[in-house]
Amino acid sequence: MSHPAESVNLNPQAKQMADESMVRCLEAQARAIWPQEAPLLTRYALPAEPRILDAGCGTGEAASRIAELFPRAHVLGVDVIDPSLELARERYRALAPRLEFQHQSIYELSAAKGAFDLTVCRHVIHSIPHADRVIAELARVTRPGGYLHIIAEDYGMLHFQRAEHDPRDFWHQVPPAFGASTGTDLFIGRDIFGILAPMGFEDLRIDFIIVDTLRVPRETFAAIIEAWRDGYAGPVGDYTPISRPKAVQYFNQMIANIRDPLGYALWLVPVVSARVPGGKKAGV
Ligand SMILES: C[S@@+](CC[C@H](N)C(=O)[O-])C[C@H]1O[C@@H](n2cnc3c(N)ncnc32)[C@H](O)[C@@H]1O
């Protein structure tokens, strides 16, 4: 499906996604999230040698963990940022050729209909416009009876303690303005049910990864917010009523909250899963 008259920037966060802060961010996010996410992935009824797609794979944090979790799987990671793909190939060379990385856009994948048993898409659909088009494309390449597994971020699901630079004000103002400027839905975690339900998927579920100061090491959680500060304070200044220096103050407040041994902070991360209708579950 091509859209020659496309006027919306399909990759509004391309600069942030290619920044070194994003490499740090994806590392820390994977360390925080994977221990709770792996058991969700093993629920799916997959064939003995599953074909798995990681759509928008970034630096391969999840694709490599998935290849290790399913030792007989073939895992393809695709992305549009070449340095991220090169880093992934370099870091996880030991898992090749069972794990491979290719430059492909998730709006228009090269795979045939039904090519994958499991299609994973983590931390992507909040950052791009027309998420519904991407989900339809992910469904196209997933076989009937196969699964979609999507981390759909929602920037209304972050909670920090109140302080001088109250993070509630930041998270109240920034996501709507940022989303409006970039044509993206930064609340897609709560909106995705309404996108998927009419598409006729089966076994539609929403689980939550709980990234908080009790379950995740404080330094790992702090590293996520530090990376967000370093990559996003600038765009927050450009796109929202909050200036760049003010954004840095807010992020620093959140980091201090996380590092405070008496502090509590929470990020709820929605994980959406669904089964493509038709076909049979593996082993059934
Ligand atoms: C926040 S990163 C998440 C990376 C990875 N999924 C993870 O969980 O570590 C989002 C990724 O989506 C990629 N992306 C954005 N638009 C894309 C597109 N049209 N096709 C493929 N990847 C895309 C970005 O380049 C970036 O690497």
Ligand 1 center to 57 CA (angstroms)? 6
Length of the chain: 284
Rg value, the chain, Cα = 19
So what's the pLDDT on residue 284? 43
Calculated CA dihedral for residues 152, 101, 26, 209, nearest 10 degrees: 40
Burial of residue 106, with CB atoms counted within 10 A of its CB: 0-12 exposed, 13-18 middle, 19 or more buried: buried
Question: What are the residue boundaries of the structural domains of the chain, listed by start?
Answer: 14-160+183-212+264-275
User: The domain 14-160+183-212+264-275: what is its CATH number?
Assistant: 3.40.50.150
| pLDDT band of 17, cuts 50, 70, 90 | confident
| pTM of the predicted structure, to 2 decimals | 0.95
So what's the pLDDT on residue 11? 83
Atom 14 (ligand 1) nearest CA: 56
Using DSSP's 3-state secondary structure scheme, residue 120 falls into strand
Query: What is the token pair recorded at 150?
Result: 């999507």
Q: Say if residue 246's pLDDT is above 50.
A: yes
Contact call for residues 231 and 24 (beta carbons, < 8 A) = no
CA distances from 47 to 51, 148, 157, 226, 240 (A): 9, 15, 35, 40, 47
Look-up of token digits 């759509």: 55
How many alpha carbons lie under 13 Å from residue 119 in its C-beta half-sphere? 27
Ligand 1 center to 163 CA (angstroms)? 33
Atom 19 (ligand 1) nearest CA: 105
Q: Say if residue 5's pLDDT is above 60.
A: no
Q: Say if residue 7's pLDDT is above 70.
A: no
Whether residue 124 has its Cβ less than 6 Å from ligand 1: yes
Q: Dihedrals φ, ψ of 220, to 5°?
A: -70, -45
Using DSSP's 3-state secondary structure scheme, residue 278 falls into coil
With a pLDDT cut of 90, the percent of the chain lying above it is 90
| Beta partners for residue 166, in sequence order | none
Candidate from 1, 17, 40, 66 with most ligand 1 atoms within 8 A of CB, to mutate:
17
Contacts of 90 (CB under 8 A, 6+ apart): none
Closest by CA to 114, choosing from 137, 131, 132, is: 137
Closest by CA to 100, choosing from 124, 73, 120, is: 73
Atom 26 (ligand 1) nearest CA: 58
Candidate from 20, 25, 79, 271 with most ligand 1 atoms within 8 A of CB, to mutate:
79
Look-up of token digits 């103002």: 173
So what's the pLDDT on residue 34? 98
Average pLDDT over all residues of the chain: 94
Whether residue 105 has its Cβ less than 6 Å from ligand 1: yes
CA distances from 263 to 29, 33, 150 (A): 20, 20, 30
Whether residue 84 has its Cβ less than 6 Å from ligand 1: yes
pLDDT digits (tens, 9 = 90+) for 73-119: 999 999 999 999 999 999 999 999 999 999 999 999 999 999 999 99
Whether residue 233 has its Cβ less than 6 Å from ligand 1: no
Q: What average pLDDT does the segment 247-276 reach?
A: 98
Query: What is the token pair recorded at 217?
Result: 């090491």
pLDDT digits (tens, 9 = 90+) for 138-175: 999 999 999 999 999 999 999 999 998 899 999 999 99
